[in-house]
Amino acid sequence: MTAPTLQQTLHQWFTPAWAAEGIVEEAFGWLQPGDRVAEPSCGDGAFLCALPDSLDVVGVEIDPVQADRARRASGRHVIVGDFLEVSVEELGRVQAVIGNPPFQSETVAAFLRKSHEILEEGGQAGFILPAYILQTSSSVERFHSLFSIRQSMIPRNLFPGLSLPLCFVTFTKERQRRLHGFMLYREAQEIAAIDRRWKQKVAAGRDSRGVWFPVVREILRALGGCADLEQIYGSIQAMRPTANPHWRAKVRQVLQRHASAFERTAPGQYQLREAVAA
């Protein structure tokens, strides 16, 4: 068995020049002359060389040998050090962060927190990442608390010898945060937070009226046959309520669509009809 190279041991996979140019053109064509860009783990300078000369670019590289190569190849300013330890004042406020960080979950998370700190509102970080970084809804929720996120698959044979699926992910710092290309991630995280009884029911339930129908019916029975929406919501997720989860709309749909089972007695208040309650 071939021993891992130093590059593999450090989780470093240097970006091919053609890929760096393609990513800059496709994902960062919106940058304007004079905009400042940071590259937090610039390696030998692929992204520093790919970024247009009209941009104000600073690179950071922990390895002084690679930092010198990047500096000579690109003519850019390269700071020798750990991106996480370089001061905000030295990095400056930036419109974009671009790069290919070490493929370690905690390192990526730390890079994103630091990127959020230096990015201007509306700015964007874009990283080549192994797909497993985004595989769980809890990880995506953590990143989504800071950014809008969009992902695109890229070929894993970008790096010879790498067996991990890859993606290029952009993280946009904005108040109205969105997810693009993440089907069911938000829903999975919200379902994980509800009461265990209902979590089991909406997973195993098979009902043509929808998985939330028996849940709403059982909750109304437990509440004496009549309740308002907030009481129903509270029964589903009593602890650590999530802000406006998707299942609230599902509950309202069940109550509104099945008038033969649920009677609206006042705005936001419903009761079980006798045939269903019996």
Q: Is the pTM of this model over 0.75?
A: yes
Rounded distance between C-alpha atoms, residue 61 and residue 158, angstroms = 21
Is residue 209 scored above 60 in pLDDT? yes
- For residue 161, give both structure tokens: 């010898």
Torsion of CA 52, 49, 80, 131, to 10 degrees: 100
The angle formed by the CA atoms of residues 131, 74 and 149, to the nearest 5 degrees, is 25
Torsion of CA 37, 39, 45, 50, to 10 degrees: -40
Is residue 34 scored above 90 in pLDDT? yes
- For residue 199, give both structure tokens: 């979590």
pLDDT digit string, tens, across residues 164-188:
899 999 999 999 999 999 988 888 8
pLDDT digit string, tens, across residues 43-92:
999 999 999 999 999 999 999 999 999 999 999 999 999 999 999 999 99
Residue type for position 151: Q
What is the maximum span of the chain, computed from C-alpha positions, in angstroms? 81
pLDDT digit string, tens, across residues 98-143:
999 999 999 999 999 999 999 999 999 999 999 999 989 999 999 9
Taking Cα atoms as reference points, which of 25, 98, 32 lies closest to residue 60? 98
Is residue 32 scored above 50 in pLDDT? yes
The average confidence (pLDDT) of the chain is 90
Mean pLDDT of 149-161: 91
Please give the domain boundaries of the chain with CATH numbers for all domains.
6-184 (3.40.50.150), 193-277 (1.10.10)
pLDDT value of residue 3: 45
Is residue 10 scored above 70 in pLDDT? no
Query: How many Cβ atoms from other residues are within 10 Å of residue 147's Cβ?
Result: 23
